[in-house]
Chain A
Amino acid sequence: MDDSDEALMARVARGDEPAFRALARRHVPAMVALARRILGNGADAEDVAQEAMLRVWRHAPRWQPLAQFRTWLTRVVVNLCLDRKRRTPWVALEAAGEIVDPGASAGEKAEADERERLLAAAIEELPARQRSAIVLTYTEGMSNAQVAEVLGTSVSAVETLLVRGKQNLRRALGDVLDEDS
């Protein structure tokens, strides 16, 4: 039996619940991780992944295989994350209290961990679309064209988002990056 995403979706469109659960088992872990990267919040990421899969179930009869299922599902998750970010009040990085003084760490491993922690914190500070573009590119390994399809924009707009995102990250991590060079 063909168990590709598209074949499973065709069965889901006919109300096949086991096919839907197979699809969920296949994609929910990646969608939870993606949502957590974009939202920076595990509980919200679970809600987003659940809502995305329920949308898959509800809208399955209307789904047309114009794009890959994975791309469509990623788009649903990213849009839900962006909606949620719009509704969530802004929390300043200082208020989050998760940054540790870089000088306190010792050893290369600790320095690398600290740098990545600072980078993650800086990514959380980025505007939502810049953050989505960076996460989709570096976490999901998507091409600019795929990111453009997910974000519903053009390839040149994605390139602009990536350039500005990286500029903002460099600015936010200025001292840390200067120490390394």
Chain B
Amino acid sequence: MNNEQFETLLKGALKREPSQADAEAAARVLKRLAGPLPRQKMSLRQLPGILLKWDFAPSWPRMAALACCAAAGFMVGIAGLDRPFDQLDAPFMSASRDFGSIFEAEPFGGARQ
């Protein structure tokens, strides 16, 4: 058998003829692919687009909750947690005498002989 005949034999044997088995196999694969698909891998090239498309509109209930928390924190900070509510209008006395003991210079214990 010469090269030309061998080429013809190869082409004849390997030419694609869709068989019934191939069609059934393809149908099974397509059926398996009809289920839920896995998550796609994200490309870094898409990152700017994702950031630009981001919806920055505030969520108003969360904004209200944040404002309430801020107001409560402000009130607690102004009033102080160590004072009862019925004495909030009483004048606030600072313990200045205690600060004096901190900054008061110690007396000399005696002159050097």
Interchain CB contact (< 8 A) of A134 among B10, B38, B45: B10
Q: Which of A55-63, A68-76, A144-152 is near enough to bind chain B?
A: A55-63
Count of interface residues, chain B, beta-carbon cutoff 8 Å: 34
Report the nearest A residue to B11, measured CB to CB.
Answer: A138
Within 8 A of A (CB), among B1-60: 1-2, 5-6, 9-16, 18-19, 21-23, 25-26, 28-30, 32-34, 37-43, 45-46
A177 in the interface (beta carbon within 8 A): yes
Are A33 and B9 within 8 A (Cβ)? no
Counting chain A CB atoms within 10 Å of each CB, the highest count among B6, B14, B15, B34 belongs to B14
Count of interface residues, chain A, beta-carbon cutoff 8 Å: 43
Q: Which of A1-9, A85-93, A114-122, A153-161 is near enough to bind chain B?
A: A114-122
B35 vs chain A, min Cβ distance (A):
11
Within 8 A of B (CB), among A16-41: 17, 20-21, 24-25, 28-30, 32-33, 36-37
Counting chain B CB atoms within 10 Å of each CB, the highest count among A60, A139, A170 belongs to A139
Q: For the complex, would chain B's binding face be called helix, strand, loop or mixed by DSSP majority?
A: helix
Interchain CB contact (< 8 A) of A119 among B13, B15, B25, B37: B13
Interchain CB contact (< 8 A) of B29 among A32, A62, A120, A180: A32
A81 in the interface (beta carbon within 8 A): no
A50 in the interface (beta carbon within 8 A): yes
Q: How far is the CA of A135 from the CA of B41 in the complex (A)?
A: 32
Are B14 and A37 within 8 A (Cβ)? yes
A53 contacts which chain B residues (CB < 8 A)? 29, 33
A148 vs chain B, min Cβ distance (A):
19
26 A-B contact pairs sorted by A residue (CB < 8 Å) = A24-B30, A28-B33, A29-B18, A32-B22, A32-B26, A33-B16, A36-B22, A45-B25, A46-B28, A49-B25, A54-B38, A57-B38, A61-B41, A62-B43, A115-B9, A119-B10, A120-B13, A134-B14, A135-B14, A138-B11, A138-B15, A177-B1, A178-B1, A181-B1, A181-B2, A181-B5
Interchain CB contact (< 8 A) of B16 among A25, A120, A123, A139: A139
A143 vs chain B, min Cβ distance (A):
15
B6 contacts which chain A residues (CB < 8 A)? 166, 170, 177
